[in-house]
Structure 1
Amino acid sequence: MSVDEKQSGRFEAGKLSWLLQFPEPIEARYEAAHGRRRVATMRASIVVGLLIYNLYNITSVVLLPDILWSTVAVRVLGVTVIAVLFAVCLDGLSARWRERLALITLTGAALLPIGFYWVSNAAYAGYTVGEFGLMLAYGNMLLCLRFVHALVFTSVHVSVALLAFDTKPGGDPGLQFAFSLQVVSAAIFTLYANYRTERQRCTGYLTALAAWQRSANAESASQRYKTMSRTDSLTGLLNRRALDEELQRWFRGSRRPQEAGLAVIMLDIDHFKPYNDCLGHPAGDRCLGEVAKVLRSISAGHGALCTRFGGEEFVIVVFDIQPGQAQAVADELADGVRALDIPHPARPDGKHCITVSVGVAMTRPGGGSHDADSLLAAADEALYSAKDNGRDRIEFPAIA
């Protein structure tokens, strides 16, 4: 669904045909949300319809005595049995065939009273015309056929009824005109009611769908902004804000393993300013990106959090780890950067490639009494000790 479809009016105009039909994707969504309810209401309508439909077996005693047993047999053994089978099988039908079979079954049931009227020679057979309008009301308003099906049902029903009025032997012209006017009026009334009900159903769903989409878009945008606010744009690593949040979450945790601690590994690219001054900032950015890739890869292998702390500094947080293991991770990170073998033509210490200085700080097993700020400060102090002691080395002070 596009952004332009967020306003319900435009969404509705673009997606709902004049026959009140959804496109296939929206129809599928509607069916998934409302299919069971449709089956339940249709089943209830069939039960009510059959009860009323079979009441006319009683009126046939007076109105159609010459074909009484034929009408009873057709209603009970034909229409009722088929309708019951249809109601039982509703759950196993697709939405398309459910609605089509409802149209076919109802049309057949509605045409039978017209046939009874046409073949009967009873004196009061004309009074069965009252059933014609009730069948229209049932199909269009109670069963509430989909509008396109209601249009077909009404057209067939009215056409056959008018043909029966016109061709019934011995029919009175004045009475035939009155009957025709009644049926056409009932058709217009019930079809209009069906159209309004169906339009309200469709536009209501589209409006709700558009509102849901606006909400989903807002939630998605919020999530994107949240992700962006926690991500360093140059390296794609988590940023200082995300680092602080994750450390605070760990220190607030009440179920940290008591046998392991938390290691903060702080790295700084050695003599990075001369590298930038010599090769330019674009080269410096590429260097940061390459270092970030290897740090992320190694961190992922240890389930560690890899962040860009700022400038040429990176922080890797390893959760639930022993001191000896933290030393091994720090060694692996430093070796990984050396293995990149990125030339550094401006190093003042005689070395010729990019390296890192590393400071490591750890909590005591179970977290100790320290907080995130003091742990970062300890790692920073260890890092500066590594730089003061010649760079390209790891300092691992006592457990914090």
Structure 2
Amino acid sequence: MNAPERPTSIPVSRSTRSIPAELRPAFDDYVRQHCRSFLIAINLIAAAAYLSYAAVDAVIIPDVALLSLLMRVVLVAIGLCNIYLLFRFGQSTLLMDLLLPLHTLICTAAWFELLKHSQSPDIPTFIYASIAFIVLCNMGARVSFGGALACSLAISAVILASVVQLSPDDSRAALVFLLVYLPVLCLSLFISWTSTRNVRQAFLADVEVRRHQAELSTLNQCLEQLAATDALTCVGNRRAFDQRLAESWTMLQAHGRGFALLLVDIDYFKAFNDHFGHQAGDQCLQEVARSMVETLRHGQAQTFRYGGEEFAILLQVSNADELRSIAERLVDQVAELDIPHPHRPDAQERLTISVGVALSHDEGVQSPDDLVARCDRLLYLAKQLGRNQVCPAQA
């Protein structure tokens, strides 16, 4: 019985500055699973907010209100198309994350161009509304702080250049705006950095949890196999046999899937063990077990150490002739090991086995215990008939 392979351990960096390259695909899947809905929602909220500001423009800059409405409708329509195409068909989580900042950059530039065409006296006060652009740019970041920072700097450059252009003769007004704007910029960037950092931390923690769960599962499988494996022969032990026999019987009752049981006993093993010693006896058991496993390797068979020098084999065979042929092949293969056994009472001087076989649908078999008992009687009969053989099919 082969031990399960240990899961490949992927090194997980404790640093949250970047995701290791080998984990990047998993991180993208994590973002799509946990952040996609949020990114869609904040893009839609931003589009609705940007469109609603047309009402404010109608009050503050009425001379360009119609142009404002047209501009906002066009930009929002383009934005909604981008949102649909990217989140419906796109796979790039970086582009999903940067869609709102890029839209914000375009909308910022368009809005200030609108202000430059207005003659409203309220423009020096209205420009403070542009702070909303930098807040929107950074509030939605979940993947790339670097991308959000680059867009923030670009938006800030557009805003500050436009403020200076709109107040060419009033440097104090531009300075006051800058003093208000910079704290908002720094705070929104801090929120952006914290959000992207938290997503990376959550992902890396999830990777650690999954890795530990995989290791625990593998360890449990190893322990289960150890508990079900005979340490000497490396085949199933008596506990595993009882469990597998019960499962096979359940399958028989549920689906009518018949099976066979073979009980194998090494002939005169006590005499072999007494003469050659326990170490040679252990080696003999190992060789016999290995021979049977290799003989049955291509069939649906499981081999167990039933007790002492006895082995049990469960086989997915329902034909008596095929079962007899397989059992005789086992006898021949063990004989071909040519293990000397000169102190056995009969004339043979090599190690042999005797085999009792029974089918789950044999007459009188009504339970797993009946099957074992019938097989055990046939094994005893095979030994009575001279050993090194399979009990006759008609027995």
| Short-chain TM bin | 0.7 to 0.9
* Counterpart pick for 1:386 among 373, 376, 382: 382
Following superposition, the deviation at residue 275 of structure 1 comes to 5.2
Distance change (3 Å), C-alpha of 1:367 and 1:129: farther
Cross-structure match for 2:267:
270
Following superposition, the deviation at residue 361 of structure 1 comes to 3.9
- Describe how 1:93-172 pairs up with structure 2 within 5 A: 93-94=90-91, 95-117=93-115, 122-142=120-140, 146-166=144-164, 168=166, 170-172=168-170
Distance change (3 Å), C-alpha of 1:144 and 1:269: closer
Cross-structure match for 1:342:
338
Give structure 1 stretches of 5+ with no counterpart.
6-10
- Describe how 1:6-155 pairs up with structure 2 within 5 A: 14-18=13-17, 21-35=18-32, 38-61=35-58, 63-64=60-61, 71-77=68-74, 79-90=75-86, 91-94=88-91, 95-117=93-115, 122-142=120-140, 146-155=144-153
> Deviation string for 1:23-69 (max 9, x for gaps)?
34444224324415644433333332222212333433454466656
Following superposition, the deviation at residue 330 of structure 1 comes to 1.6
CA distance in 2: counterparts of 1:223 and 1:347, whole angstroms: 43
Kept in 1: contact 2:97–2:140 (CA 8 A): no
Kept in 1: contact 2:301–2:316 (CA 8 A): yes
Say whether residues 1:292 and 2:289 are aligned partners: yes
The one-letter code of the counterpart of 2:156 is V
CA distance in 2: counterparts of 1:301 and 1:157, whole angstroms: 69
CA distance in 2: counterparts of 1:81 and 1:138, whole angstroms: 18
Distance change (3 Å), C-alpha of 1:281 and 1:127: farther
CA distance in 1: counterparts of 2:330 and 2:169, whole angstroms: 101
Cross-structure match for 1:240:
238
Cross-structure match for 1:188:
186
Distance change (3 Å), C-alpha of 1:49 and 1:143: farther
Secondary structure of the structure 1 residue equivalent to 2:16? coil
- Describe how 1:191-340 pairs up with structure 2 within 5 A: 191-253=189-251, 254-255=253-254, 257=256, 262-272=259-269, 287-319=284-316, 321-338=318-335, 340=336
CA distance in 2: counterparts of 1:184 and 1:261, whole angstroms: 80
Secondary structure of the structure 2 residue equivalent to 1:321? coil
Kept in 2: contact 1:251–1:367 (CA 8 A): no
CA distance in 1: counterparts of 2:168 and 2:261, whole angstroms: 103
> Identity, % of aligned pairs?
23
Following superposition, the deviation at residue 282 of structure 1 comes to 6.2
The one-letter code of the counterpart of 2:46 is G
CA distance in 2: counterparts of 1:365 and 1:379, whole angstroms: 10
Secondary structure of the structure 2 residue equivalent to 1:390? coil
Give structure 2 stretches of 5+ with no counterpart.
1-6
The one-letter code of the counterpart of 2:16 is S
CA distance in 2: counterparts of 1:76 and 1:109, whole angstroms: 11
The one-letter code of the counterpart of 1:84 is L
CA distance in 2: counterparts of 1:328 and 1:126, whole angstroms: 100
Matched residue count: 385
Secondary structure of the structure 1 residue equivalent to 2:296? helix
Following superposition, the deviation at residue 313 of structure 1 comes to 2.4
> Deviation string for 1:221-255 (max 9, x for gaps)?
21221122112334432221111111122334533
Distance change (3 Å), C-alpha of 1:292 and 1:205: same
Distance change (3 Å), C-alpha of 1:208 and 1:289: same
Kept in 1: contact 2:354–2:383 (CA 8 A): yes
CA distance in 2: counterparts of 1:49 and 1:364, whole angstroms: 73
CA distance in 2: counterparts of 1:245 and 1:363, whole angstroms: 16
Following superposition, the deviation at residue 175 of structure 1 comes to 1.2
Kept in 2: contact 1:62–1:124 (CA 8 A): no
> Deviation string for 1:164-201 (max 9, x for gaps)?
44455524122111100111121122222233333333
Which stretch of the first structure deviates more once superposed, 128-137 or 298-307? 298-307
- Describe how 1:347-386 pairs up with structure 2 within 5 A: 347-348=343-344, 349-365=346-362, 368-369=365-366, 371-386=367-382
Distance change (3 Å), C-alpha of 1:303 and 1:189: same
Kept in 2: contact 1:344–1:353 (CA 8 A): yes
Secondary structure of the structure 2 residue equivalent to 1:255? helix
Superposition CA RMSD, Å: 3.6
Following superposition, the deviation at residue 394 of structure 1 comes to 2.2
Which stretch of the first structure deviates more once superposed, 236-245 or 149-158? 149-158
TM-score normalised according to structure 1 size:
0.80
Distance change (3 Å), C-alpha of 1:275 and 1:112: farther
CA distance in 2: counterparts of 1:357 and 1:117, whole angstroms: 101
